[in-house]
Structure 1
Amino acid sequence: MDASTPPMDSFTDNNTPTTTTSSMNNTLFPLPPTHFLSQPRPSGIASPSSSNRVVVDTTTLAAHDFDVDPRTGFMPPHPPIARLGGVGGENGAHGENGEYGKYGMYEAWEGILDEACAGAFRLGRDIGTETGGKEERWRGRVRELPILCITPLLDSEPHLRRAHHVLAWILHFYIHTHESGTEEVRIPPPITLPLLRVSREMHLPPLLTYSDDVLYNWGLNPQNSSLRTLTSFTSTASESHFYLTSARIELIGVRALGLMQDSLDELFVGDDIARTRITGFLGELAGVVGEMEGELGRMYGGCDVWVFYQYIRPWFQGESEEKRWVFEGIEMDPELEYPKELGGPSAGQSSLIHALDIFLGVHHTSDTDPDSSFLSRMQLYMPRHHRNFLSHLREQSRRRSLRAWVLESVANAEGEANTPLLNANTPLLNANTPLLNANTPLLSAYNSAVTALKKFRDAHIVLVARYIIGPAARVKTRGDSQSLGEGSYSKIKGEGEMKGEGEAKEEGEDEEETKGEEKDREALKGTGGTHLARFLKSVRDNTRDAVIQI
């Protein structure tokens, strides 16, 4: 790369304008009204008239950094807004005399969500055809809500996030308390219109996503500043532990993001010193991913298998072929489009894992695999700034691929300095390739990082087998699908985790399954809508295949 080539901007832009502070009296000068940070939050909806203008994204203070914080990664650096209405404070719900402020009218949403969270609601399958129950009375109050305007929310990204969170949780409560056996659920206009409008502004699907469950579903306990969840369906410790385990994995992954940025900076230089540094960074990255795997394993200590499968997971489900969602009132706003993505929240929506794949050169696309587009589709469920981060990282990898550079560097170390630059799609080298030395530190470090990610996915397969595949088989064979009724969480507590329900199995191992059992496992779908076992194994195998073999 010649000296005239500009440096590759890795993750951040260090030329961000800042507000000037007086050196005389330390007084913060007000920004002029023409300064870009003084402008109102730009709409998330591009208009044809503005398509040719460069608009600085000020929707969040870290938008220029793709909303990726150096301290908290994809998690927000401050606790998310816990209530749109609130009382006093920065949320601005009530003034000194108790009058409603800018966000006060949204207490109607918050109140209806409070009722659902505190109501110990039953799933529709447990309600059956019963009428007049507490769930149906609550659903009636949802239908009677006013159709609220979202304009006051448009100048605040945190409030829009909270609005999506609240409306999406109400939506899932409403849908999954609907009696079973019906072919469709009709969502009333008081939820349809504001949810679709907020989702359009946020570039998100109008239902629960990983960001609603994990990224923006936490606060701090006032006693010890530990993490706590804001919203849950069951109010069980198992559900809280499920969300917070993912949140802690995201926080561990912050160091992985830093190591990736440092590696990309050194990759631009590409000299012997850079090679040594990248080798060290990749070794550290393997350790961080190992810590993420360890945190994933702590799921077993706080999330009961049967509580999760029977009473938590069903709330996450998106639209299915058996039960369609009908958004009533959408015709009232001609600018709204009927939702196309209604898959439900999934761990596949974690931007952190996608970033590791892109950085390490793990490819999941295939012309023959029907699930290969699933991970790409899951990016539509991510906050748009994080989606843009992945696009930026992918573009950097196209310009200068870490994996191709490792291959090139090791080849050069073997005395082949004129070896052509290998691109990101270079096939795996085989045992007959004379250019590679298995003891080369850089190659070993790269392979250790990829192997750590593969082991993380192994652990995830074990977890899914324990929490989903095993219980599904138990329900089918033992008839345990009957509900234990209201208050049953306490009855099934203490059963313990089901042992030996599943293990991650490599290709070629004896799985000792009948063809019928294999078919059942293949048919089981995740909350994101993909065939669960088949998809997870293919992703794990793609990661394994990224190891440079010699």
Structure 2
Amino acid sequence: MDLTDLLKAQLSPEHFLAQSRPDERAVAPDGAVDTTTLAAHDFDVDNRTGFMPPQPPLARLPIEYEPWETVLEGAIAQHLQVGDKPGLTPLEAAESAAWRAWVAEMPLLPTDGLRRSELLLRRAHQVLAWTLHFYVHTIPADEPILIPAPLGLPLLRVSAVLQLPPVLTYSDTVLYNWAPADPALPIPAANNLRSNLLFTGTRDEEEFYLTSARMELRGVEALELMRDTLDEIFVGDELAHKRIAAYMRRLALVIKELETTLLSVRDGCAPAVFFHEARPWMRGADSGAGKRPWVFDGLDSAPDLEPPTELSGPSAGQSALIHALDVFLGLARETHDASLAGSAAAAADGRAAFLRRMQQYMPRHHRRFLDHLAADPRPLRALVVRARDDGELTAAYNAAVRAMKELRDVHMVIVTMYIIQPARRAEREAREAREARGEMEVEEAAPLRGTGGTELAQFLKGVRDRTARGLLPVAGGQ
């Protein structure tokens, strides 16, 4: 049994990943969305685990790709430090430089052998993207960022097949970055997860990733409620309306539990550790001050490749679960509006709304799921608007929308605790240190950005407020 057969043997025969890979160049005519099927395997959505895979992701590539695996292991084992770390010692800088030289001296490996399996491609993207972030962020702040061909070109090729940006994504840090804490227990379960890869090796970083993983698993019931609701919309009678109202009340409770799960990150992840130790590694090319361009060496001799245009880092905005809730509830027209580009620079460049752009960072099957959901000819919100005299239905729908708004309130609280407050504290301490040394004041700091490149406070408030606009008037004032 070869590796491909072994991988398929771990999956049920009807699962998407057990089937032959389709030609990634094949698309529907004129970009049309095919709505002939909503089978879960078409979208790599499992009825037990949602957007998380039901089996542990591949933990190592075949032997021919061992140079990639060992160089990443070396970065983790050496506890490398970011190049713009305050107080970086000469020894730490030298260790990072030696490791980067190791990366540059790797052989330039072909990627054709990875195409036989989606699982191999996922692992390759994960290993190379993690290595990319180690490489980029250990470079001293005053040096240009030039990514060596043995790292950059394979990452670009794998990313092109997967239709993903060549950078670390939410799927690399959350969806495909777990293993069972106890292999003897059922998997994956919220209380039986550990992370495979970490930049810092700290529990804080791991808890940050696992909190999102637990939210994905809790969101499985939300996906079930969406499916049941769409079935009832098809029926459309008075009894169906009552069932939909019941589903909406239940969905509101599930979203509240997502809120509780998000807040639980405080139990294992200290804000200072996350902000100063873990978060710097996750930054994309459009995050932080300076924003040196990431240049991929060797592109001029690789006619099959193009310079990447999307290099934001991993972001909660790349979770297909939250996007699915927006689409299902009919909120996406507000929350994905082009006026919410994420930053003034992005808006000036005519870039798409931030949440719309983040869909490019999702596994392409999950993007297709969102496309199919958005293309449903019988959307929920339209039904509720038509049935405006049904106060019970509208009130139940509003409960779900209100729960989404409150989830975004909590997200703003977490972002304030873990990013905005530590950033302000660090900025104040740096200013006081400059004043103590008698140095001149530097120019005013740029707006604080998320790892995905957003101007955080303004963007999150905008999305939260747009979500609240989704509430509908209720007949009889219920």
Interval of TM-score (by shorter of Structure 1 and Structure 2): 0.7 to 0.9
Instruction: Say which SS state the counterpart of residue 124 (structure 1) adopts.
Output: coil
C-alpha offsets along residues 258-304 of structure 1, whole Å, 9 cap, x if unaligned?
00010011111110111011011001100100110000010101001
**Aligned match for 1:541, one of 456, 465, 473:** 465
| Kept after mapping to 2: 8 A contact 1:154/1:160 | yes
Q: 1:109-508 alignment to 2 at 5 Å? A: 109-126=68-85, 130=90, 133-182=94-143, 184-222=144-182, 225=185, 226-320=192-286, 322-362=291-331, 363-366=334-337, 368-371=339-342, 373-396=353-376, 399-411=377-389, 413=390, 440-479=391-430
- 1:530 paired with 2:458, answer no
Aligned with residue 67 of structure 1, among 44, 56, 59: 44
- Distance between the aligned counterparts of 2:79 and 2:222, measured in 1? 39
Q: Structure 1, residues 415-451: CA drift from partner, whole Å, max 9, x if none?
A: xxxxxxxxxxxxxxxxxxxxxxxxx211111010011
Asked whether the 8 Å contact 1:263–1:278 carries over to 2, the reply is yes
C-alpha spacing 1:217/1:481, structure 2 compared with 1 (3 Å): farther
The alpha carbon displacement at 1:202 in A equals 0.2
Residue 232 of structure 1 and its aligned partner are, at CA, apart by 0.5
Task: Measure the CA separation in 2 of the matches of 1:211 and 1:40.
Answer: 22
2:169, 2:306 → 1: CA distance? Answer: 19
Give a deviation string over 1:124-160, Cα, whole Å, max 9, x none.
0137594772111111110110111111110100111
Give the whole-Å Cα distance in 2 for the aligned partners of 1:547 and 1:222: 44
Alpha-carbon offset, residue 117 of structure 1: 1.2
Q: Aligned-pair RMSD on alpha carbons?
A: 2.6
**Residue identity in the other structure for 2:403:** A
Aligned letter for 2:291?
A: E
* Alpha-carbon separation, structure 2, partners of 1:311 and 1:289: 30
> What secondary structure, in the 3-state scheme, does the structure 2 residue paired with 1:140 have?
helix
The alignment covers a number of residue pairs equal to 422
Letter in 2 for 1:539: V
Q: Deviations over 1:300-333 (max 9, x none)?
A: 0100110100011010111135311010012222
Whether the aligned pair in 2 keeps the contact of 1:147 and 1:189 (CA below 8 Å) is yes
Query: Secondary structure, in 3 states, of the residue corresponding to 1:154?
Result: helix
User: How far apart are the structure 2 equivalents of 1:464 and 1:38?
Assistant: 39
In structure 1, distance between residues paired with 2:198 and 2:429: 29
User: 2:216·2:321 contact (CA, 8 Å) conserved in 1?
Assistant: yes
Amino acid at match of 1:262: D
- Per-residue deviation, 1:224: 5.9
Measured at CA, do residues 133 and 376 of structure 1 come closer, stay the same or move farther in structure 2, by a change above 3 Å? same
State the distance in 1 between where 2:318 and 2:450 align: 12
> What is the rounded CA distance, in whole Å, between the counterparts of 2:212 and 2:310 in structure 1?
23
CA–CA distance in structure 2, aligned partners of residues 335 and 375 of structure 1: 29
**CA separation of 1:481 and 1:270: change in aligned 2, threshold 3 A:** farther
**One-letter identity of the residue aligned with 1:546:** G
1:504 match: none
**Larger RCO (CA within 8 A; separation ≥ 6):** 2
CA distance 1:343–1:129, shift in 2 (3 Å)? same
- Change over 3 Å in CA distance of 1:77–1:179 after alignment to 2: same
- Sort the Cα spacing of 1:334 and 1:306 in 2 relative to 1 into closer, same or farther, 3 A: same
Q: Do the aligned partners of 2:40 and 2:47 also contact (CA within 8 Å) in 1?
A: no
Higher share in helix: 2
Provide the C-alpha distance between the structure 2 equivalents of 1:310 and 1:200, rounded to a whole number of angstroms: 33
In structure 2, C-alpha distance between the alignment counterparts of 1:447 and 1:186, rounded to whole Å: 50
Give the superposition deviation at 1:38: 9.8
- Structure of larger gyration radius: 1
Amino acid at match of 1:452: A
Cα drift, residue 108 of structure 1:
1.1
User: Alpha-carbon deviation of 1:403?
Assistant: 1.2
What is the rounded CA distance, in whole Å, between the counterparts of 1:37 and 1:344 in structure 2?
A: 26
| Corresponding position of 2:53 | 76
C-alpha distance in structure 1 between counterparts of 2:417 and 2:318, whole Å: 21
Counterparts of 1:256 and 1:291, CA distance in 2: 11
Cα displacement string for residues 476-522 of structure 1 (whole angstroms, at most 9, x for unaligned residues)? 1123999xxxxxxxxxxxxxxxxxxxxxxxxxxxxxxxxxxxx96x8
Q: Assess if the C-alpha contact under 8 Å between 1:167 and 1:191 holds in 2.
A: yes
Gapped regions of structure 2 (runs ≥ 5): 1-12, 186-191, 343-351, 434-443
Letter in 2 for 1:253: G
Amino acid at match of 1:463: I
Alpha-carbon distance in structure 1 between the residues aligned to 2:228 and 2:107: 51
Q: Distance in 1 between matches of 2:310 and 2:337?
A: 21
The alpha carbon displacement at 1:460 in A equals: 0.4
Aligned CA distance change for structure 1 residues 368 and 65 (closer, same or farther; 3 Å)? closer
Provide Cα deviations, 1:212-244, integer angstroms capped at 9, x if missing partner.
Answer: 000000001236641000000000000000000
Tell me the SS of whatever aligns to 1:523: coil
**Cα deviations by residue, 1:62-89 (Å, 9 ceiling, x for unpaired):** 87431110000000011100111xxxxx
* Identical aligned residues as a percent: 50
Q: Which TM-score applies when normalising by structure 2?
A: 0.83
- State the distance in 1 between where 2:200 and 2:56 align: 22
For residue 212 of structure 2, what is the amino acid of its counterpart?
A: S
Does structure 2 retain, via aligned residues, the 8 Å contact 1:128–1:180? no
Cα 1:375/1:368, change in 2 over 3 Å: closer
Residues in 2 aligned to 1:66 and 1:146: alpha-carbon distance in whole angstroms = 35
Is the CA contact 1:239–1:303 (under 8 Å) kept in the aligned structure 2? yes
The answer to whether the Cα contact below 8 Å between 2:17 and 2:118 also exists between their aligned partners in 1 is: no
How far 1:255 sits from its partner (Å)?
0.3
Equivalent residues of 2:252, 2:400 under 8 A apart:
yes
Once the two structures are TM-superposed, the CA of residue 335 in structure 1 deviates from its matched residue by 1.1
CA contact (8 A) 1:128 1:179 kept: no
